[in-house]
Amino acid sequence: MGIAKFLKSGRITLNGIENIIEIENCSTSLPYKEISPSDWGQIYEKYVGQILENEGYTVQYNGLELGFLDRGIDLVAENEHCINFIQCKFTKDKIGKSKIDWILYKASSKLHEQHKSSGKELKFTLVVNKIDINFSKRIPKNFRLAFTETSNIKYPWLQYFLDHNHVQDKVKLECREIQMNNNYSQQGV
CA distance 84 to 49: 11
The pLDDT assigned to 162 comes to: 86
Residues of the domain holding 104: 3-187
Would you say residue 27 has pLDDT above 90? Answer: no
Mean pLDDT along residues 4-22: 91
Q: Greater confidence, 176 or 137?
A: 176
The partner residues of 77 in beta bridges, in order of sequence, read 59, 84
Q: What is the pLDDT of residue 145?
A: 62
CB 111 within 8 A of CB 123: no
Q: Between the CA of residue 71 and those of 37, 87, 105, what are the distances in Å?
A: 22, 10, 10
SS3 content of the chain, % helix, strand, coil (to 5): 40, 20, 35
Encode pLDDT of 39-80 as tens digits. 999 999 999 999 999 999 999 999 888 877 778 899 999 999
Q: How many domains does the chain have?
A: 1
Q: Do the beta carbons of residue 70 and residue 62 sit within 8 Å?
A: yes
Phi, psi torsion values for 26, nearest 5 degrees: -150, 155
pLDDT > 80? residue 183: no
CATH of the domain at 7: 3.40.1350
More reliable by pLDDT, 27 or 102 = 102
| Dist CA 177 CA 18 (whole Å) | 25
The yes-or-no verdict on residue 157 having pLDDT over 90 is: no
Check residue 118 and give its pLDDT: 66
Sign of CA dihedral 64, 66, 69, 75: negative
Question: CA distances (Å), 146 to each of 24, 92, 127, 135, 168, in order?
Answer: 46, 27, 22, 18, 13
Per-residue confidence band for 120, with pLDDT thresholds at 50, 70 and 90: confident
CB of 189 closer than 8 Å to CB of 39: no
